[in-house]
């Protein structure tokens, strides 16, 4: 089965990433390659932020190993897309490391992201069709602009949620696993290089994140930093574009070629959004919030979704697990429409969202209950009846009349 090859490549990425992360961690601690704690940070002690370097080399080694397998020959017979992807990843990691060490301004970071996304699109990983109906994008320039915008959007969205231990890596593992299932099913039925590239890239990303999680999970010994978060966003965007934007024209409108049980033409649009629902939602809210406040949309603050969960009363670990659950429900819920009748899929989807909402809002309910109880107690203490009762108690406590002598029992 081909799935074994993907699992093997993912394992290579995981092992290399984990081993290199230990080395990077040791070097970072030895040479104090870590910034001071910022006001918006959740952690309280200086922590190395160069985990993205280990993840990058894990990705590179995994692609190199995959190139030796004949199963992936369709990708490496025309290596331009892989080289473009790795070149874009190198640019992103360099920019991210520089930011993690010297704290670059947002304009410099944005310029580097645009250059990386342009390299990716220039080498052929770009949106050339619209998923619904397989409609081709009319102009190559429009295709390039939309691709660069989409890649930069996803990279920043993923980077925005990188504020809690293990959050980005865990969300990426969950979302990419769901996307891998979809891309793998398409590959099996279509047998094209596009789907193979998406499946391989997604498998390598999963492996790199799994390899980094033991060091990054709460309490984290090291963070992936901007280099790692932007790299994760780049690979997720490249995987989604490889499937969503390069489906052959008319392919999705032929049920005999694609036999899954829903309107498959909409899944290429909905699934990438679903797997990125938490990053995109956080990114959108941050843009609106900062623009309304008259600030730069890329200025830092402490009002991200994970910050709000902590302010609601969730613990660090609980906040991470809640965001995991939202990602799982959204991505699996959308993919479920391809396997079960839409009524059952919708019911399970809505039920999962309701459970997540209940868990998320639970601290507010407990807080309101405590506040209501406190108000009742305060009102009871201030009521006239209670004052009279306390006056009676005070009078009794000050009564100086002699107390009757009780005879002690005799044996």
Q: How much is the average pLDDT of 232-242?
A: 92
Q: What is the pLDDT of residue 131?
A: 58
pLDDT for 53: 96
pLDDT in tens, 208-231: 999 999 999 988 899 999 999 999
Q: Report whether pLDDT(202) > 90.
A: yes
**pLDDT of 201 higher than 70:** yes
Domain residue extents for the chain: 2-298
Quote the pLDDT of residue 272: 75
Lowest-confidence range among 140-144, 180-184, 263-267, 269-273? Answer: 263-267
Could you read off the pLDDT of 110-126 as tens digits, one per residue?
Answer: 999 999 999 999 998 98
- The answer to whether the beta carbons of residues 158 and 233 sit under 8 Å apart is yes
**What would the mean pLDDT of 27-42 be, rounded to a whole number?**
72
- The reported pLDDT for the residue numbered 136 is 65
**Predicted local confidence at residue 363, as pLDDT:** 87
With a pLDDT cut of 90, the percent of the chain lying above it is 41
Tokens 């704290």 correspond to 103
Q: Is the pLDDT of residue 338 over 90?
A: no
Could you tell me the pLDDT band of residue 207, with boundaries at 50, 70 and 90? very high
Crossing angle of helices 2-30 and 193-216, rounded to 10°:
40
Mean pLDDT of the chain: 81
Q: Averaged over 71-89, what is the pLDDT?
A: 91
In the structure, what pLDDT confidence band is assigned to residue 337 with cuts at 50, 70 and 90?
Answer: confident
């Amino acid at each position: 089965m081909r799935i074994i090859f993907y699992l093997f490549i993912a394992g290579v990425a995981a092992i290399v990433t984990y081993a290199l992360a230990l080395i990077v961690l040791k070097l970072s601690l030895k040479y104090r390659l870590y910034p001071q704690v910022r006001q918006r940070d959740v952690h309280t002690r200086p922590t190395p932020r160069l985990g993205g370097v280990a993840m990058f080399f894990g990705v590179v080694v995994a692609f190199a190993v995959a190139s030796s397998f004949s199963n992936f020959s369709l990708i490496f017979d025309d290596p331009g897309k892989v080289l473009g992807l790795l070149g874009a990843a190198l640019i992103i990691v360099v920019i991210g490391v520089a930011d993690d060490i010297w704290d670059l301004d947002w304009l410099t970071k944005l310029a580097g992201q645009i250059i990386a996304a342009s390299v990716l699109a220039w080498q052929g990983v770009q949106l050339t069709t619209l998923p619904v109906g397989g409609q081709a994008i009319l102009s190559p320039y429009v295709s390039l602009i939309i691709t660069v915008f989409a890649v930069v959007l996803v990279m920043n969205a993923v980077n925005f949620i990188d504020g809690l231990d293990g959050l980005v890596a865990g969300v990426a593992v969950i979302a990419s696993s769901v996307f891998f299932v979809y891309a793998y099913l398409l590959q099996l039925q279509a047998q094209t290089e596009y789907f193979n590239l998406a499946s391989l890239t997604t498998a390598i990303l999963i492996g790199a994140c799994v390899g980094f999680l033991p060091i990054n999970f709460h309490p984290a010994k090291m963070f992936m930093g901007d280099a790692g978060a932007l790299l994760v966003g780049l690979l997720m965007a490249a995987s989604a574009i490889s499937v969503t934007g390069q489906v052959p024209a008319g392919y999705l409108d032929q049920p005999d070629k694609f036999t899954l049980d829903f309107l498959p033409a909409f899944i290429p649009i909905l699934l990438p959004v679903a797997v990125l629902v938490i990053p995109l939602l956080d990114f959108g809210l941050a843009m609106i919030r900062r623009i309304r406040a008259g600030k730069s949309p890329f200025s830092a603050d402490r009002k991200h979704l994970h910050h709000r969960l902590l302010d609601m009363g969730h613990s660090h670990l609980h906040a991470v697990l809640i965001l995991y659950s939202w990602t799982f429900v959204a991505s699996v819920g959308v993919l479920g429409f391809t396997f079960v009748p839409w009524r059952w899929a919708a019911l399970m989807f809505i039920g999962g969202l309701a459970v997540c909402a209940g868990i998320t809002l639970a601290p507010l309910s407990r807080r309101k209950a405590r506040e209501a109880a406190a108000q009742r107690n305060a009102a009871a203490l201030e009521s006239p009846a209670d004052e009279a009762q306390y006056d009676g108690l005070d009078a009794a406590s000050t009564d100086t009349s002699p107390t009757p002598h009780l005879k002690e029992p005799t044996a």
